Structure 1
């Protein structure tokens, strides 16, 4: 029987590649691949950290910080009324003309007042002459003895002199009043500003105490910012503020001047019986009330006009330094894009 045993020196048969349960060993990762993977992980971590910091920054300035797009430029307007009545004979200003305090705006017909001054002056001269006569008569009576005149007669002449003196003082007062009325025919501006909405013309009749010309007081501009009550805890009197007017890139700077102590509420109105009129409807969604905050304007950049009624974005710094311009611009753009999408109801709620 032939020997079928394999020779010990013969090599062992090679294992088949497709043997069941056998796996190929993993190839070794080169050093360059490990470095690239580490770099990608580090870059991802840095980007994630930057995103977290950016989100915190945006949350702080966009949500937590006190700012509002509901701001308005305000100003005082002097409604000037004449102190005497008469026909207007001269208008010395035009609409939107700049005037200074004391400038003549228009002139009322002075003829009647000039006559009144002349009449009062004549009355003063008459009273002065009468006083001289009464004083002379009283002096002569006082020099006589009781044999030539009685004590009662002396007292009568002395009293007549006193009456004449009082009449002179009254005439002098009427003369001063007549001169004042004559000066008041030249109606002047009471503030530095600009004439607005001028409708009067020569020939109109000016009535005492009825305003007929308006002057915007250019020294009285301020900003009213209407902040949500949830942000009022971060607003203090004296805080600095940045203001951006709609349509202008440069920012105004200002200071929180005052905070209002009350706003209107419907439940405070009394009924016909004098009792509180409380609305029985209570909504689950409670909108934050807006509280007016007055901002004093400290600096206006060149080329930025102040016009009452303009829309402003107000950011109160609260001691954290001025807000970046790029952030306020970005915030305005985002708000402008998102506000129309909210629909008219949401826009009305925001107001």
Structure 2
């Protein structure tokens, strides 16, 4: 039996189709394995600590020394509060100390005088003068404490940055009245940037602290280096609540035929940032941990 040209071409087409189908199946299998089990995620966010800045004492803002977007160092003056009332409070506290000291000297003289008149004056009078001296001594200690607090308030009229930060969403202007303890501006801590990677639970077995991570910001060609700090110890169970009145678990029935892997936050510290890469808290990132490439190109395939 001889193979004709048409039969040979038809057989080659069948073989080529089978080979391509097998290759496509292998590629799909490796891609599924990579996206399902490889320690990588495209669902990540760049995070940073935001420090709200407030004043210790209420007062009118006297001067503002920074602008929106400024990079500031720890200890740098950001703005100042009007010092007139604070200086007056310090002067009053110092005057109260002088009054308390004069009262104490007088009370101590009286206590010594009555102590020398033993047998002439009653014990009750001597005890009364001694108690008056101790009370005057306590009032002096209170006046000194008030003076120290007034000095602290005056010093903190200059509001300084507690961290190396970046001024963000800044709208403070001179003349605004600032209430004590109420934030008037925010700083992004430049030393606190990290990445929260939300990995599927099917990938957690391959994630451990210290594992090297490659971080790619959306819109950036260069990658950042980091390492895994830890995995979140709990996530919210959206299908469970507590029934009112009974305090029993109220688990809602699930009718979905497709069960998706839940995502668990993984904290990743940033070790190296290439020059020129802008870190903005909230940017979307892709995180690939060591070992992910082995799922895409497994050694046993070769």
Candidates 196, 206, 214, aligned match of 1:224? 196
Shift of 1:151: 2.9
Give the Cα separation in 1 of the matches to 2:172 and 2:38.
Answer: 49
The runs of 5 or more residues in structure 1 that have no matched partner are 1-22, 24-43, 328-351
Report the equivalent of 1:199: 171
User: Could you tell me which residue of structure 2 aligns to residue 36 of structure 1?
Assistant: none
Residue 253 (structure 2) pairs with residue 269 (structure 1): no
Residue in structure 1 matched with residue 151 of structure 2 by the alignment: 179
CA distance in 1, matches of 2:65, 2:267: 35
> How big is each residue's C-alpha offset from its partner over 1:3-26, in whole Å with a ceiling of 9 and x where there is no partner?
xxxxxxxxxxxxxxxxxxxx9xxx
Instruction: Name the CA distance, whole Å, in 1 between partners of 2:181 and 2:249.
Output: 39
Deviation (angstroms), 1:105: 1.3
Match of 1:99 among 65, 72, 77: 72
Instruction: Tell me the number of residue pairs that the alignment of Structure 1 and Structure 2 aligns.
Output: 274
- Structure 1 residues 38-53: aligned runs within 5 Å: none
Normalized per residue, which structure has more strand?
A: 2
Shift of 1:271: 4.2
The 5 Å alignment of 1:25-174 reads 61=34, 63-146=36-119, 148-174=120-146
RMSD: 2.6
TM-superposed deviation, 1:245: 1.2
Structure 2 distance, partners of 1:150, 1:292, is 78
Task: Measure the CA separation in 2 of the matches of 1:254 and 1:271.
Answer: 43
- TM-score norm. by structure 2 comes to 0.83
Residue number in structure 2 paired with 1:342: none
Partner of 1:251: 223
Shift of 1:251: 1.4
Deviation at 1:195, TM superposition (A): 0.6
Contact 1:246 1:312 in 2 (8 A): yes
Name the CA distance, whole Å, in 2 between partners of 1:152 and 1:285.
90
Cα distance between partner residues in 2 of 1:63 and 1:288: 9
Tell me, what secondary structure is at the counterpart of 1:94?
coil
Per the alignment, do residues 63 and 267 of structure 1 end up closer, same or farther by CA in structure 2, a change over 3 Å counting?
Answer: closer
The answer on whether the counterparts of 2:240 and 2:252 sit within 8 Å (CA) in structure 1 is no
- Provide TM-score, normalisation by structure 1: 0.72
Q: 1:281 and 1:150, CA in 2 relative to 1: closer, same or farther beyond 3 A?
A: closer
Distance in 2 (CA, whole Å) between partners of 1:279 and 1:149 is 86
Alignment of 1:279-294 (within 5 A): 279-294=252-267
1:315 paired to 2:288? yes
The structure with higher relative contact order (CA 8 Å, sep 6+) is 2
Structure 1 equivalent of residue 211 of structure 2: 239
2:270 matched residue in structure 1: 297
Aligned to 1:11: none
